[in-house]
Amino acid sequence: MSKRKRPHGHYCKICGEYKANEKFSGKGHAAHICKACSRLSAAEKAAAMDINRLMGFPMRRLSDGEKKWLQTKMHDTNSEVADTAREIYHVCFPHAERNAMKKQLIINTLSFEIHTEVYGGYGDMETADRRFAIDRKSRVLAMEDFHTESGEQSVTLEKGQMAKLLRYIVHTLEIFMWEQDYCLNLDEDVFFTDIFLDEGVYVDDLEEKEEDLPTEPEGRPFWQVHVEYSNHTVQDISSYNDYLPERPEELYFSLLEYFDSEDEIF
């Protein structure tokens, strides 16, 4: 703890308060434990000390020891200690969640549908009215163009190509954070919020709380994504906003590329 002006009284190492001398017994005085705190159980004392340390946690780059201690406290059996530690951890390491999740998430299938206009290569608006589907196991990338009604085309990717594409979608485009990043679901608590950093990452069961969801806007979404991950989580995004954000747009063009090169053969 930094330069706190030392008030009068005697410091209690459990509650972290400075109290008048009469609040301490003779023995407590020497042990730096006030009368109130001395009545606490050993577990309560430990929790109070942890909370105390957490509240005064330095807001600077943490040492390895501090980081390790904080991570341990995130799993403390005392829920107040664990919650406080998690809050502080997320303040200190805002990207830790994402980065840890990236290592865990493998896309099994992805479907991306788009019905809007995008800026083409020459700055002109062009119609994007397509659906893409990716299947990791069969390595098939399929596209249907509703605008030209040319039916479904598909390409089978090399193993490495498919892995690279899926990694790009998770690691670079961070598709698993699109709800939060683009505020797509008003009920933001539904997806990927109950995350606990473990040795591995645990993503809480993603229950669709349908009764809590706001009534869906009328009409067809301008774009939507459905992803199934290997850890059995499912992500559903629908955007009723005509504006196509940067990363969905990037996904659109990078998927389209697999088919543009095909066209040139003919």
Closest by Cα among 81, 33, 93 to 54: 81
- What whole-number distance in Å separates Cα of residue 237 and Cα of residue 186? 11
The nearer residue to Zn ion, 15 or 143, going by C-beta atoms, is 15
The nearer residue to Zn ion, 34 or 184, going by C-beta atoms, is 34
The window from 14-22, 117-125, 148-156, 213-221 that contacts Zn ion (CB under 5 A) reads 14-22
**Per CB under 5 A, does 88 bind Zn ion?**
no
**Per CB under 5 A, does 34 bind Zn ion?**
yes
Question: What's the min distance (Å) between Cβ of 85 and Zn ion?
Answer: 21
The nearer residue to Zn ion, 4 or 61, going by C-beta atoms, is 4
Could you tell me which residues are beta bridge partners of residue 156? Answer: 140
Could you tell me which residues are beta bridge partners of residue 227? Answer: 110, 235
Contacts of 81 (CB under 8 A, 6+ apart): 47, 50, 51, 54, 73
Question: What's the min distance (Å) between Cβ of 56 and Zn ion?
Answer: 15
Of 28, 37, 105, 134, the one binding Zn ion by CB under 5 A: 37
**Per CB under 5 A, does 48 bind Zn ion?**
no
**Per CB under 5 A, does 197 bind Zn ion?**
no
The nearer residue to Zn ion, 50 or 144, going by C-beta atoms, is 50
The window from 35-43, 55-63, 88-96, 210-218 that contacts Zn ion (CB under 5 A) reads 35-43
The nearer residue to Zn ion, 45 or 167, going by C-beta atoms, is 45
- What whole-number distance in Å separates Cα of residue 53 and Cα of residue 51? 5
Question: What's the min distance (Å) between Cβ of 66 and Zn ion?
Answer: 24
**Per CB under 5 A, does 12 bind Zn ion?**
yes
Of 15, 203, 227, 237, the one binding Zn ion by CB under 5 A: 15
Binding site for Zn ion (CB under 5 A): 12, 14-15, 34, 37
